Amino acid sequence: MEWKHVCFVAVGGAFGSVLRTWLWHVLRGGFPWSTIAVNVVGSFLIGFLFHTLGNDEDNLNLRFFLIAGCCGGFTTFSTFSLDVLKLFRDGHAWLAFGNVALSLVCCLFAVFAGWRLAVAS
């Protein structure tokens, strides 16, 4: 990987992380809606961009910036895992299982929907 690609990923990752943190402040509450929202939206965008940007060299920098950087920094599996742990710790096992099920189903649906939308465009 070239240094310029590392820079594209780093700048995109910073942007995605800041946006995720802002949404956490806007949507915070008892249930981790912000984590679900960023992971579903990010999954949709990754599916859409995967098809739209293709695999050609012309879009390589944009793929590094948008997919690996922005979407990678925006989505978060570690925060999702911590949210599940906190729900279990606080005695909300059913909410924890609900979070896992909702996140898995919605994210898989979103990545497929984003890809299908891009294919249809």
The answer on pLDDT for 46 being more than 90 is: yes
pTM: 0.88
Q: How far is residue 8's CA from residue 6's CA, in Å, rounded to a whole number?
A: 5
Which sequence spans correspond to the domains of the chain? 3-120
pLDDT-based confidence at residue 56 (cuts at 50, 70, 90): confident
Q: What is the mean pLDDT of residues 81-110?
A: 97
pLDDT in tens, 18-31: 999 999 999 988 89
